[in-house]
Structure 1
Amino acid sequence: MSKNYVIGFPRIGEKRELKKVLESFWSGEVDFGEVKYVANELKKRHWAYQKSAKVDYISSNDFSYYDNMLDTTILLGAIPKRFENLEDEELYFAMARGNKEAVAMEMTKWFNTNYHYIVPEISKETKFKLNSKKVISEYKEAKDFAVKTKINLVGPITYLGLSKSVDNSDTFLHINSVVEQYCKLLEELSLFDEEIVVQFDEPLFVKDLDSKILSLIKPVYDKLSKVSSNIKVVVATYFEHSNEATKILVNTPIWAIALDFVYGSKNFEVLEEIESSNKVLIAGVIDGRNVWKSNISKKVELLDEIAKKVSKSKILVSTSCSLLHVPFTLEYETALDSDIKSWLSFAKEKLLELKLVSKLFFNEELSLEDKSQLKRNQEDNESRKNSTKIHNKKVQDELSKLKTNERKDKFEDRIKAQREFFKYEDLATTTIGSFPQTQEIRKNRRDYKNSLISKEQYELQIKEYIDDCIAFQESIGLDVLVHGEPERNDMVEYFGELLDGFAFTKNAWVQSYGSRCVKPPLIFGDVTRENPMTVEWIKYAQSRTKKIVKGMLTGPVTILNWSFVRDDKPRNEVARQIALAIANEVDDLQNAGIKMIQVDEAAFKEGYPLRNENISKYEKWAVENFRLSVSKAKIDTQIHTHMCYSEFNDIIKTIEAMDADVISIETARSGNELLKIFKKVGYKQEVGPGVYDIHSPRVPSIDEMVEQIEALLEVLPKQQLWINPDCGLKTRKWPEVKQSLENMVKAVNIVRNKK
């Protein structure tokens, strides 16, 4: 009897092997054959790990060279016209990253995670044509490796629901065409085995759906489930409850439905419908999004509660979502505090938790090793609960006595004082903060961390980088400069390393997009700041120029959303502790003469609940904590913030409530459409829309940026606009950065001279 199920598995490799070979391919060091070789080895290894952990349902087609939504666009043949003359890997990576002739497709966050997907582009004219090569070849690869897999596919409703209409037509007009391609695929697959399980990922079902989308569910899954008698269709939902969709799905011929019982406790409300429909329930109880060790006994208790409503024989024990969202393994964390390490579980470790939970739930006999693991699990959970490392009375007392939660001056008064103090021009030019992280600067940090060089040697190289960075910015005529952040490994990790309550790993990388990986900090205890974190480096940069240098900080909500957060305290309370630390840093910076300070909230939107009923509560505490973080800023201290990948229409009032003096936003792949909402609501604060896309190596021309700036001026007046790239420049190479920024400044000067 099959007992357990994994929604999906990480693909970047336990030592980021895929990232490294992709970047070698993009730089021309290896050919695509090497990329395929590494990818095939990784897939075999990942299947082997799951097989050895006794996983009954292992995925194929959860692997991707870049992104599964992009893979689905290729699968369905929905290629935007600007890429139609390309083929194979050239086509694939041009769509993801752009090339000299064409801009990349838009990228945005995957629901409320830190993963990004490539947004499909759909118009009335889009024609769909099946390209099943990847799906079938990967299934065959697994079979050749003696692993019979289920096949993961992005569901048709989620695919079209997350697509971008490039002509304002309804993307769901194509639902029949898309389903037709999936039916053809299922027909092809049905020839390969007596029985094949196909998992359609439909995370869109956990959002508040209108009746039109809900009305598509039954006809779509009636049709897909009837293609072939040997195809067993699974619909997988995750990150929240999907009650409205589940009530419809139980009346279709699908075989099973996967529900998330970690982040969607309301899924309990539809268990009786699942039981009466005789569907298999794939119960997601092992957390696929956080890193804390499961309490095995409590997971079994949760399953026992589920089994009161659904027959145990119809339950498969599962991860709550794909394990893509957690690091690969704890095996390489030799330097991590032993207590903290004992509280953690990454992807490989979660496979063992899954095995143990399913054995206990189904009353299987435990081996001696199983019994030892269970005993250790109980001890580790008890150790964490009672540890003195997680509590700090000092910060608790400071927050309880706090009197000022926000700035006392109104924006109209602040901006007048700031304009008089800084005297910057309209269409002021700046960057978002980071400059390219060269191999030399990474090596310098690494060597210092490993005690291979002295503090003096380390600081000398950092200062040389800052000197060069400041000199370059001055040479091209940028108005507001930054120090380039050469001392920072990551915009969250850097601050976490200087705060108490954070722990860090050596190899706990998680894929963000493509080859981009992040290593989120672990917030295990109360957060406090003992000393200034940025003041000395920003002061040094300011000493090298007479121009304005911005101080660069990461905001409390982003630090929270880009970390693995303790699950024993409410998230808003953790954010409040971080906000207090940032507020003290703002105060130290302004007292050191740094009067323009950017507090990045790149991940503000990322933390939004998926259900409307929970949004107002999140917005309230998120805004309160941002305002607390800048509450000590004086009237002539200008507070900037930056937001990534956000559709602002639904949160513009929240952005206003944050009350930053200047907000920079990512709009380069979206034209000026996102900006129009700022005009519509009468937004008063200053805005820096990104005028070029930094996620592509492509260098935009001067004329292109002139056109972009003039488009922005059609929406907002020049007095309100700043001109900048759409995000930090850390991941780019110096030659393209220099040319792009030089073109940007020249474009601004052309526009200024026209007015």
Structure 2
Amino acid sequence: MKTAITGFPRVGELRELKFVTEQYFRNEISEKELIEQGKKIREKHWRLLKEKTIDFIPSGDFSFFDTTLDTAVLLNIIPKKYSELNVTALEKYFALARGYQGDAGDVTALAMKKWFNTNYHYMVPEIDDETDIKLVGDKLFTEYQEAKALGIETKPTLIGPFTLLKLATYHGQKKAADFSTVIIAAYKEIIKKLAELDCQWVQIDEPALVLDLSETDKTFFVGLYKELLSEKKMLSIQLQTYFGDLRDVYQEVIALPFDGIGLDFIEGRKNLALVEEYGFPKATLLFAGVVNGKNIWKNNYEKTLELVKELQTKAEVVLNTSCSLLHVPFTLENELELSHQVKRHFSFAVEKLTELNELKKILQDEEDGSFLQDNMTLLAETRFHKNQAVEENIRSLKESDFIRQAPLSERVLVQAKALNLPVLPTTTIGSFPQTKEVKQNRAKFKKNEISEEEYNTFNKEKIAECVKFQEKIGLDVLVHGEFERNDMVEYFGERLEGYLFTKRAWVQSYGTRCVKPPIIWGDISRSEPMTVAYSTYAQSLTTKPMKGMLTGPVTILNWSFPREDISLKAATMQLALAIQEEVLDLEANGIKIIQIDEAALREKLPLRQTDWHSEYLDWAIPAFRLVHSKVQPTTQIHTHMCYSEFSDIIQEIEDMDADVISFEASRSNLTILETLKAINFQTQVGPGVYDIHSPRVPSVTELKETIENILINVPKERVWINPDCGLKTRGIPETEASLVNMVKAVKKVRGEI
């Protein structure tokens, strides 16, 4: 019995990688220093995994930004406009991830999308007819050698050719199949080079195999690997899948001569049945994903042992995580404020290593039974007292509670009269830059170093500055800037009953951006208003409409660590009722526009389309409608969505019955607009006109062209103009310059139409 993990958090125990990379972005350290710090972080993690006696330790899962991007760069999948930049290789890499604006040129970043059903974002590879796919990088080999020099044998990991080509965007006549020969040759060369370094195993990640696959997809996958595995004798090759099951391609996978196959038994609902029905090849190791890589609750040893023992009748099992531990915080050891009674219910990345080892010892009869008994005793405990009022409110919901009082066609007319906005109204998504002073003010208040009055006074000063700036540049609908908010989910969780919070449980979202998901511990309810005071104060400073800013129930759920003792639907409905109370309070206090962000709507959408409605959309969309169903027709409801593919659920998005929807669209080149036109989308839309995740400032000409492209597909009466996301992560100079240019561009377009 051996243990493995699919991947490990790379940002570091205390976000060391984030801080050192941002120092590099600010030119405070050199490229050489950044590379050296990355090496130190990798060494620390490898030594930890060795100390925890993990048998299959990954390498190659470290990245300065994103591993899909790393694989693309390794294989020379670099669009010409980036390869022609006269900068270092690392600067070119970051140009792909963040864009570049300087003496060497001006390029926007690659598109960024959600990684399957997670809150992690990957950079979308771009391939055109001239792309010369070949092995050009050395990162994978260098990191393997680094570990080996420390006396640690690792299993290099990289994104597989099927997933890489399936996720890529294609420009030109060629499609994925046209690159099969060259990509097979490149992966063969990778295997050959690793073998020459005496590498024993390589892990090739193919998460795209858990998607709905056509016969063409399956034929393409089999063709790639039949050829790739034809010379595999040089080292052992593990195919790794996660986030779902292989129901479409299981028989094809087990027919191929892999040395190891990784299956997810947490989210892969049908994987066990597939193994039982079709068996498992005797000469192949089954890397069984039985420890949850996406949630933070203790593993149920009794249930896991039953599963593993059943699998052992079919295969030689390696205990594995269901997916990379990238999706959970680093360690519980740093959560000093949480009581032992609470913490013992959780398991972060480091603690999951312990779980793997304890399961291994139980299975090998190497301990006295206390591990299993202690685990069973813990899981049998009652953690909290149920909120009977919340449960009764859920039970009493009627169909009419999910329906707005007036249809959209009527609301458009009454809102136009009430708000009197110009054509192409301008706004922002909500947050403004969170400066060092803003963060310090919040930190001092939390540490009781300043009074609540001092804290509020500072925030009101920042709100006043923000409102004044927005009025000065001519924005039409204003926001208060959200200077009091640490995070769009954590802020609300802190004000809702039923949540627990950590101090250092950070999880990487993209690049250097980390989030600290709160934990849903019990039943959710709202005891008092959460946003009304700051929103009404901001509205008192201006005659222009001030948006009330809320996070929707689906996003709060998806960006929290959810309970496992009730359904996701039940937890979301609890959140929806709590947010509904806030919506009605904002309306009662004179806020005429309320934005309820559902940035993560798609995040828990099942990866297989056949499961979309029955397992998710049939309750997620009504949950959003429940939040705003009781407002007056004159109150305008906005929502915002970002960094996901929405075209295939666009009808369901219209069914949310919002009045205005803003989409991230800049990095996806406004492709969603064609879908909106095709289905005659009636909701007003605000496609993001520039990318806020890049520091570059778009010109007035560039923005004007973007707006004109929007108007080709959407009537001007239904278009709003805004950035593609909140501005909290950006600096003040670039934010102000970009917004000034955005308003100037709108005025130019208005003058022409």
Distance, in Å, in 2 between the alignment partners of 1:258 and 1:436 is: 42
Q: In the alignment, is residue 481 of structure 1 matched against residue 478 of structure 2?
A: yes
Q: Please report the TM-score for the alignment, with normalisation by the length of structure 1.
A: 0.97
- Deviation per CA, 1:536-589: give whole Å up to 9, x if none: 000000011111100000000000111110011000000000000111100000
Q: State the shift of 1:499 in Å.
A: 0.3
Q: State the shift of 1:360 in Å.
A: 1.6
Q: Which amino acid aligns with 1:424?
A: L
Q: Answer with 324-333 or 673-682: which moved more.
A: 673-682
Q: State the shift of 1:679 in Å.
A: 1.1
Q: State the shift of 1:240 in Å.
A: 0.7
Aligned to 2:32: 33
Q: State the shift of 1:216 in Å.
A: 2.0
Distance, in Å, in 2 between the alignment partners of 1:246 and 1:190 is: 28
SS of structure 1 residue aligned to 2:738: helix
Q: Tell me if structure 1 keeps the 8 A contact 2:127–2:171.
A: yes
Q: State the shift of 1:217 in Å.
A: 2.4
Q: Tell me if structure 2 keeps the 8 A contact 1:218–1:251.
A: no
Select 2:395's aligned residue among 400, 403, 410: 400
Distance, in Å, in 1 between the alignment partners of 2:467 and 2:155 is: 54
The 5 A counterparts of 1:418-437 are 418-437=415-434
- Deviation per CA, 1:644-697: give whole Å up to 9, x if none: 123222101101110100000011122332111111111111100100010100
Distance, in Å, in 1 between the alignment partners of 2:41 and 2:159 is: 22
Select 2:168's aligned residue among 155, 163, 166: 163
Q: State the shift of 1:641 in Å.
A: 0.4
Distance, in Å, in 2 between the alignment partners of 1:613 and 1:451 is: 52
Distance, in Å, in 2 between the alignment partners of 1:471 and 1:245 is: 58
Distance, in Å, in 2 between the alignment partners of 1:172 and 1:364 is: 50
Aligned to 2:740: 742
Distance, in Å, in 2 between the alignment partners of 1:107 and 1:671 is: 11
Distance, in Å, in 2 between the alignment partners of 1:167 and 1:83 is: 18
- Deviation per CA, 1:194-225: give whole Å up to 9, x if none: x5211100000001111111002223222222
- Deviation per CA, 1:23-64: give whole Å up to 9, x if none: 010011111222122211111111111111111100010111
Aligned to 1:57: 56
Aligned to 2:184: 179
Q: State the shift of 1:365 in Å.
A: 1.3
- Deviation per CA, 1:596-651: give whole Å up to 9, x if none: 00000000011210112210121110011000011121110000000112322210
Q: Tell me if structure 2 keeps the 8 A contact 1:43–1:63.
A: yes
Aligned to 1:5: 4
Select 1:326's aligned residue among 309, 328, 347: 328
The 5 A counterparts of 1:244-323 are 244-272=248-276, 273-276=278-281, 278-308=283-313, 310-311=314-315, 314-323=316-325
Q: State the shift of 1:377 in Å.
A: 2.5
Q: State the shift of 1:265 in Å.
A: 2.5
SS of structure 2 residue aligned to 1:704: helix
SS of structure 2 residue aligned to 1:388: coil
> Are the structure 2 counterparts of residues 196 and 276 from structure 1 closer, same or farther at C-alpha, using a change threshold of 3 Å?
closer
The 5 A counterparts of 1:482-631 are 482-617=479-614, 618-631=616-629
Q: State the shift of 1:374 in Å.
A: 4.1
> Are the structure 2 counterparts of residues 168 and 692 from structure 1 closer, same or farther at C-alpha, using a change threshold of 3 Å?
farther
> Are the structure 2 counterparts of residues 44 and 260 from structure 1 closer, same or farther at C-alpha, using a change threshold of 3 Å?
same
Q: Which amino acid aligns with 2:143?
A: E
Q: Tell me if structure 1 keeps the 8 A contact 2:254–2:280.
A: no
Q: Tell me if structure 1 keeps the 8 A contact 2:177–2:220.
A: no
Q: Tell me if structure 2 keeps the 8 A contact 1:251–1:277.
A: no
Q: Which amino acid aligns with 1:115?
A: Y
Q: Answer with 78-87 or 13-22: which moved more.
A: 78-87
Aligned to 2:357: 355
Q: State the shift of 1:4 in Å.
A: 1.2
Q: Tell me if structure 2 keeps the 8 A contact 1:190–1:228.
A: no
Q: Which amino acid aligns with 1:664?
A: S
SS of structure 2 residue aligned to 1:227: helix
Distance, in Å, in 2 between the alignment partners of 1:569 and 1:439 is: 40
> Are the structure 2 counterparts of residues 374 and 276 from structure 1 closer, same or farther at C-alpha, using a change threshold of 3 Å?
closer
Q: State the shift of 1:131 in Å.
A: 1.9
Q: Any stretches of 5+ residues in structure 1 without a counterpart?
A: none
Q: Tell me if structure 2 keeps the 8 A contact 1:164–1:171.
A: no
Aligned to 2:129: 124
Q: State the shift of 1:485 in Å.
A: 0.1
Q: Any stretches of 5+ residues in structure 2 without a counterpart?
A: none
Q: State the shift of 1:339 in Å.
A: 2.7
Q: Tell me if structure 2 keeps the 8 A contact 1:157–1:175.
A: no
Aligned residues: 743
Aligned to 1:42: 41
- Deviation per CA, 1:176-199: give whole Å up to 9, x if none: 211111111111111111x52111
Q: Tell me if structure 1 keeps the 8 A contact 2:308–2:317.
A: no
Q: In the alignment, is residue 69 of structure 1 matched against residue 68 of structure 2?
A: yes
Q: Tell me if structure 2 keeps the 8 A contact 1:161–1:204.
A: yes
Q: Please report the TM-score for the alignment, with normalisation by the length of structure 2.
A: 0.97
Aligned to 2:443: 446
Q: Which amino acid aligns with 1:290?
A: N
Distance, in Å, in 2 between the alignment partners of 1:387 and 1:95 is: 47
Aligned to 2:670: 672
The 5 A counterparts of 1:692-703 are 692-703=690-701
Q: Tell me if structure 2 keeps the 8 A contact 1:122–1:165.
A: yes
Q: Answer with 329-338 or 688-697: which moved more.
A: 329-338
Q: Which amino acid aligns with 1:477?
A: G
Q: State the shift of 1:426 in Å.
A: 1.0
SS of structure 1 residue aligned to 2:334: coil
Q: State the shift of 1:376 in Å.
A: 3.5
SS of structure 2 residue aligned to 1:65: coil
The 5 A counterparts of 1:130-169 are 130-167=135-172, 169=174
Select 2:345's aligned residue among 339, 343, 346: 343
Q: State the shift of 1:405 in Å.
A: 2.4
SS of structure 2 residue aligned to 1:233: strand
Q: Answer with 343-352 or 676-685: which moved more.
A: 676-685
Distance, in Å, in 1 between the alignment partners of 2:115 and 2:732 is: 30
Distance, in Å, in 2 between the alignment partners of 1:578 and 1:168 is: 47
Distance, in Å, in 2 between the alignment partners of 1:66 and 1:584 is: 39
Aligned to 2:384: 388
Q: State the shift of 1:268 in Å.
A: 1.4
Q: Tell me if structure 1 keeps the 8 A contact 2:362–2:371.
A: no
Q: Which amino acid aligns with 2:592?
A: K
Q: Which amino acid aligns with 2:17?
A: L
Distance, in Å, in 1 between the alignment partners of 2:200 and 2:229 is: 12
Aligned to 2:644: 646
Distance, in Å, in 1 between the alignment partners of 2:667 and 2:677 is: 19
Distance, in Å, in 1 between the alignment partners of 2:376 and 2:500 is: 22
Q: Tell me if structure 2 keeps the 8 A contact 1:415–1:661.
A: yes
Q: Tell me if structure 1 keeps the 8 A contact 2:594–2:635.
A: yes
Q: Tell me if structure 2 keeps the 8 A contact 1:217–1:249.
A: no
SS of structure 2 residue aligned to 1:364: coil
Where do 4+ consecutive residues of structure 1 move more than 6 Å? none
Q: State the shift of 1:153 in Å.
A: 1.1
Select 2:634's aligned residue among 622, 633, 636: 636
Q: How big is the alpha-carbon RMSD for the aligned residues of Structure 1 and Structure 2?
A: 1.3
Aligned to 2:727: 729
